Amino acid sequence: MKSKASAPGKVILFGEHFVVYGVKAILCAINKRVTVTAEKMEGGKISIQSNIGNLELEPGKSISEINSPLKPFYYLADKMLKNENVGIKIIVESDIPLGVGLGSSSACCVAGAAAISRLFRKTSNEEILALAIEAEKTIFENTSGADCTVCTYGGIMEYDKKNGFHKIESKPNFHLVIANSNIEHSTESVVGEVRQFKEKDEMRFSLLCKKESKLVEEVLELLIENNVKKLGTKVRENQEYLETIGISNDKLREMIQIGQTESFGAKITGAGGGGCIYALTNESNLEHTINQFKDKNYDCFSVKIDFKGLDTF
Ligand code: PMV
C-alpha cells in the first residue's frame, strides 16, 4: 500500500521580522507544492529519495548524528516505525525552490508527516501538524510553527507570538509575482542583524513596530474588501520599513524597483538579505510584471493563494 500527500509552500505577505518582537504577521499558502509518497518495504530500512539527494539508514539512529537536509523525513519514519518490523521507502517531489523563504522545508514536513503517519493509521490534520512541527524542529529548533500551520490549513492566516494563528476567512483574488534573487539567506543571521539594529536605537525600533502593527490592521480590512490597489500601497509602505531595518541590499532593491513599475507594490518576503521578493498584481498587470523581470533575466514565476492546504490521497 502507498500513502501519498502534498502540501503547499508559503509566503509572508506582511510583518516579517517585526513578528519576532510581537507584531502580527500575515502569511498565505501558495500553489506550489511538495508531494511525498511513502510505502512500507521489506528489510527494515528507512530509504528517502528526492531531487536534492538520497538517504538510506537503519532506524533507531540519533537525529544529532544525521547531517542531511532530509532528516525530518527520517525523524518521522523512525518515530512511526517504533515496534514495527518493516522499513519505509519515501519519495519526495517538489516544485518549491529551496532555501529562499518559500516554505519548502515546512511543506516537506507537513506532506511527510501526513504520508508517513497514514501508512499506519488515519491521522487528523491536528496530529499531522504537531508531527510536522516536531520534524521541522530537527532543522530549525526555534520554529514558531507558523509556516507548518499555513502549509497544513492553506489560505491566509494572521499570526502573532502571543495569540498564535487565526485563519483569515477571505478569498482575495490577487496574483503574486515571485522573483528569486538566488542568494541563499540564513534567517538566523538576518534576524541577528535586526536585533543589533534594535539594540542601537530602541526608540526608533519601537516606533517602527507601532507603524507595522497599524499597517497590518489596515491590511486585514483591505483583504476583506479585496482592494488590491490599496493593498499595493501597504506593500510599498511595508517595504520601506524593511529597508529601514537594513535587511535589503542592492540586488533586492533593483528587483523591487522592477516589480513596482507595473505591479501595485513589491516587497521582500521572509528574512531578506537574499531570497525572494513578491510583486502584487491582478489579471490586469500580471503578464506585464512577469515580462519586466524576464526582460532582465530574473528567475520569476506567478503564484496564487492555495486554499486547499494539505491534501492526502
Ligand atoms: O525564513 P523565512 O524567509 O521564512 O522568514 C523568516 C521570518 C522572520 O520573521 C524573519 C523570522 C521569524 O522567525 O519569524
pLDDT of the chain, 313 residues: tens digit per residue: 899 999 999 999 999 999 999 999 999 999 999 999 999 999 889 999 999 999 999 999 999 999 999 999 999 999 999 878 899 999 999 999 988 889 999 999 999 999 999 999 999 999 999 999 999 999 988 788 889 999 999 999 999 989 989 999 988 989 999 999 999 888 889 999 999 999 999 999 999 999 999 999 999 999 999 999 999 999 999 999 999 999 999 999 999 999 999 999 999 999 999 999 999 999 999 999 999 999 999 999 999 999 999 999 9
- Neighbouring residues of 67: CB distance < 8 A, sequence distance ≥ 6: none
Q: Give yes or no: 147 in active site.
A: yes
Distances (CA, A) of 131 to 26, 79, 205, 229: 23, 10, 36, 39
Cα end-to-end span (Å), the chain = 12
Three cell numbers written together for 57: 539508514
Instruction: Look at the block and give the residue holding cell 507558523.
Output: 146
What pLDDT, on a 0 to 100 scale, did the predictor assign at position 86? 93
Cα 12 to middle of ligand 1, angstroms: 8
- Neighbouring residues of 127: CB distance < 8 A, sequence distance ≥ 6: 117
Counting runs of H as helices and runs of E as strands, what totals does the chain give?
A: 9, 12
Residue whose CA is at the smallest distance from ligand 1 atom 11: 17
Cα 45 to middle of ligand 1, angstroms: 35
Phi/psi for 58 (5° steps) reads -70, 150
Check the CA dihedral 252-247-282-12 and report its sign: positive
> Is residue 72 a contact partner of residue 114, using CB atoms and an 8 Å limit?
no
Instruction: Look at the block and give the residue holding cell 532530509.
Output: 70
* Residues forming beta bridges with residue 131, ordered by sequence position: none
- Neighbouring residues of 212: CB distance < 8 A, sequence distance ≥ 6: 14, 15, 18, 23, 238, 241
The two beta strands, 87-94 and 46-50, are: parallel
What is the position in ligand 1's atom list of the atom closest to the CA of 17? 9
Tell me which DSSP letter residue 34 carries.
E
3-class state of residue 136 by DSSP: helix
- Choose, from 147, 201, 299, 306, the residue flagged as catalytic: 147
∠ CA 279-254-242, nearest 5°, is 65
> Is residue 11 a contact partner of residue 269, using CB atoms and an 8 Å limit?
yes
Cα distance between residue 292 and residue 289, in whole Å: 5
Instruction: Look at the block and give the residue holding cell 516579517.
Output: 16
Residue 16 CB–ligand 1 contact under 6 Å: yes
Fold of 2-168: Ribosomal Protein S5; domain 2 (3.30.230)
Domain spans of the chain?
A: 2-168, 175-304
What pLDDT, on a 0 to 100 scale, did the predictor assign at position 251? 96
Instruction: Look at the block and give the residue holding cell 519514519.
Output: 77
Q: How many CA atoms are closer than 13 Å to the CA of 15, on its beta-carbon side?
A: 27
CATH class, range 175-304: alpha beta
Closest CA to 36 of 86, 110, 101: 110
What pLDDT, on a 0 to 100 scale, did the predictor assign at position 303? 97
Cα distance between residue 203 and residue 208, in whole Å: 9
Q: Which amino acid is at 53?
A: G
Residue 136 CB–ligand 1 contact under 6 Å: no
Residue 145 CB–ligand 1 contact under 6 Å: no
Residue 168 CB–ligand 1 contact under 6 Å: no
Phi/psi for 93 (5° steps) reads -125, 135
